[in-house]
Amino acid sequence: MPTATPTEPSLSSHVALVTGASRGIGRALVQTLAARGASRVYATARDPRTLADLGSRVTALRLDVTDPDSVARAAEAAQDVTLLINNAGSLRSYDVIEASRQDLEADLAVNFFGLLEVTKAFRPALVKSEVGTLVNLLTLVSLAPMAGIGGYSASKAAAFSLTQSLRATLGTEGVRVMGVYPGAVDTDMLRGFEMPKASPESVAKAICDGILADEDDVFPDVMSRPLGALWRDDPKALEAHFAAM
């Protein structure tokens, strides 16, 4: 793995763990964290064999965020974590009226409850470290829904509210909480959506920059930055923008 350069400030003070690291933004984050000098990077996936090619500085762990026993085992194995990145995500529920309850519950299981359970499991390590940082990968549609993925949007809106609650709760314990709101990114999850997409690598770089800059909210790509500004100025305007798409 390459080391951090003078133009890429180091994350050497952190031991990082990334959920959902087998592909997409998660894999790019693991590679970027290692390149930025993180002292250790735990990469997690349901099948750790998918992580075998990430290099000697990366420790692969089995983690299914919907399985409490799996979460507990990962937290026991990685008690030195100072930077937790909740990246694992699910997109199974599209139109919120037409989506089955099973698909809605599957998205909530990963995007809301999984995020919460992983955070709770690693909370002692983050607090103990005194530099604990929690990063939640959300999405622009957590701020305003897109009808075609209304079920997914709702699950991410719940995760957005949860992130705000965690910021209030964990902030009193010295843990920083950051939300990340990407637009369209070139991952398997959005393979069927025809639109300009940012690369996972560019999003991972922006997230690491945001960590180093102590930002609460990161809009990491060319789609999300102007729409994030729109949301800050007029949340109803962002809702209308997505409704018209």
**Catalytic positions, written as ranges:** 152, 156
CA distance readout (Å), 167 to 105, 134, 162, 218? 25, 9, 9, 14
Angle among Cα 185, 217, 156 to the nearest 5 degrees reads 60
Note whether 140 and 230 are within 8 A (CB).
no
Note whether 141 and 94 are within 8 A (CB).
no
| Partners of residue 136 on adjacent β-strands | 86, 179
H-helix or E-strand spanning residue 60: strand 58-62
The token pair that represents 42 in the structure block: 């735990």
CB atoms within 10 A of CB 210: 19
**Rounded CA separation 5/29 (Å):** 17
Residue in 167, 166, 144 with CA at minimum distance from that of residue 154: 144
Residue 44: exposed, middle, or buried by beta-carbon count in 10 A (0-12, 13-18, 19+)? buried
